[in-house]
Amino acid sequence: MAQPAHMASAWPDEPTPLALGTAPVPEYGSGSLADLLPTIAAGLDVPGFEHRIAELTPADRNCVFLIDGLGWEQIKAHPDEAPYLTSLLGGSRGGSGRPITAGFPATTATSLASVGTGRPPGEHGLPGYTVRDPAVGELMNQLRWKPWTPPHVWQPYPTVFQLADAAGVHTAQVSSPTFRETPLTKVALSGGTFHGRLTGEERMDLAAEQLAAGDRSLVYTYYSEVDGSGHRFGVDSDAWRGQLMCVDRLVQRLADQLPPRTALYVTADHGMIDIPFDEQSRIDFDEDWELRAGVALLGGEGRARHVYAVPGAEADVLACWREVLGEQFWVASRDEAIAAGWFGPAIDERVHGRIGDVVAAAHDDVIITASVNEPNESAMVGVHGSMTPVEQLVPLLEVRT
């Protein structure tokens, strides 16, 4: 067990913990992923929604193209590989693009639920890659939905797609056939018709067709391989650059086919950061007796950890994690993270116990791996999850016809 927190100051070279007030909390309510579909729905006069993202103007036909893992900063850093996306960025480059915030943690399951439900993680209840299911006391992987739990008990809210469909808006999702029946699709993207297409080109062509199929339409489409190559090979690898070039052409292919009166929004679920393979940058929880002391379950992912303490050890675990991680992570108790708005302005009762007793969000270029329990995740080159701009800022690029 670590020394009690009050003794830490006896050591002059002990790092001071990062002040939680310095964390750039997502802009829930006016500039986050959870605000995009409600703003579009308000523009389509779907009952129950109001305009949240000030800069967006209504369109009759609306397409959201979500590129997994392609953050705002990554587009800005690669104008040669992404000439079309770069032309949409805004500022001196032309276009009217802007960054919005993904939400915390910046991870796919959380962000897709924020997009689809139009609610922040504290309400939709997918607040991490893995979180504890309070009903059984075990970790639940929300991307793979393992172990299985009833989807509509876990996330009971209707999606914006369902509400738009009910209001007579032509609504469709165009994605990989793999995702047709997944619980994550059910809780985040239900509503209207799901169309599975294997290739990006087929998805773009069908998305354009679906947009034209109604006078008022809402179409969602998705591409995963930028994220996949970033995890395996890194953000600046040849494989990743190749995927960026590929997706840049896909966006242009869709833009070229848009029917009249359409707004195409290109966005992402999170950015990505490469972490070096050395002991300073990769802290192995499974080999670290100080971090493990008093911990019953380690959830989340490398840069956004939910730490579930053995009952009674919550304060000790918080003090120890703060001391060990110093200025490398923002380390908050559950109550502190909730009060700071990390998961949104409100937390539903059923979501409370899914959040860690301690929540640790990376500030520096470091991750907390778990070499024994998470061998695959621990071997990733590119990762994401925290609140730093490179992970948190996602594009909101716009093409209008």
The site for Zn ion (CB under 5 A) is made up of 227
Q: Say if CB 245 and CB 45 are below 8 A apart.
A: no
What distance in Å separates the CA atoms of residue 352 and residue 71, rounded to the nearest whole number? Answer: 29
Q: How far apart are the first and last CA of the chain?
A: 62
- Least spacing, CB of residue 114 vs Zn ion, in Å: 15
The residue among 92 and 376 lying less far from Zn ion, judged by its C-beta, is 376
Of 227 and 314, the one with the shorter C-beta distance to Zn ion is 227
Helix H or strand E segment including 76: helix 72-76
Q: What's the token pair of residue 301?
A: 């992912």
In the bound state with Zn ion, the residue whose beta carbon lies nearer, of 129 and 265, is: 129
Tokens of 247: 């997706």
The answer to whether 144 and 301 have CB atoms below 8 angstroms apart is no
Residue 272 CB, nearest distance to Zn ion (Å)?
A: 7
Structure tokens at 400: 């209008």
Cis peptide before 147 (omega within 30 of 0): yes
Closest CB to Zn ion among 64 and 273?
Answer: 273
Residue 400 near residue 59 (C-beta atoms within 8 A): yes
β-pairing, 329-333 vs 358-362, is antiparallel
72 or 321, CB closer to Zn ion?
A: 72
Q: How far is the CB of 106 from Zn ion (least distance, A)?
A: 9
User: What is the per-residue DSSP string for 13-55?
Assistant: TPPPPPPGGGS----TTTSBGGGHHHHHHHHTT-TT----STT
Shorter beta-carbon distance to Zn ion: residue 227 or 357: 227
Rounded to the nearest whole angstrom, what is the least distance from the CB of residue 383 to Zn ion in the complex? 8
Q: How far is the CB of 221 from Zn ion (least distance, A)?
A: 18
Give CA torsion, residues 154, 160, 161, 166, to 10 deg: 110
Of 305 and 322, the one with the shorter C-beta distance to Zn ion is: 305
User: 165 or 269, CB closer to Zn ion?
Assistant: 269
Backbone angles phi, psi at 65, to 5 degrees: -105, 110
- Least CB distance to Zn ion at residue 108 (A): 5
**Calpha distance 26→261 (Å, rounded):** 31
Minimum distance from residue 326 beta carbon to Zn ion (Å): 27
Coil, helix or strand at residue 218: strand
**Least CB distance to Zn ion at residue 378 (A):** 14
CB of 230 to Zn ion, least distance (A): 7
DSSP 8-state assignment for residue 146: B
Sign, Cα dihedral of 40, 107, 275, 229: negative
User: Whose Cβ is closer to Zn ion: residue 227's or residue 248's?
Assistant: 227
Contacts of 6 (CB under 8 A, 6+ apart): none
Task: Closer to Zn ion by CB, 73 or 227: give it.
Answer: 227
Residues with Cβ within 8 Å of 363's Cβ and at least 6 positions away in sequence, in order, are 18, 23, 327, 328, 329, 330, 386, 388
Shortest Å distance, C-beta 71 to Zn ion? 11
Give 17 or 103: the residue with its C-beta nearer to Zn ion: 103
C-alpha–C-alpha distance, residues 296 and 138, integer Å: 10
Q: DSSP code of 261?
A: S
- Which residue's C-beta sits nearest to Zn ion? 227
Pick from 30, 134, 107: nearest CA to 356: 134
Task: State the minimum distance, in angstroms, from the CB of residue 369 to Zn ion.
Answer: 15
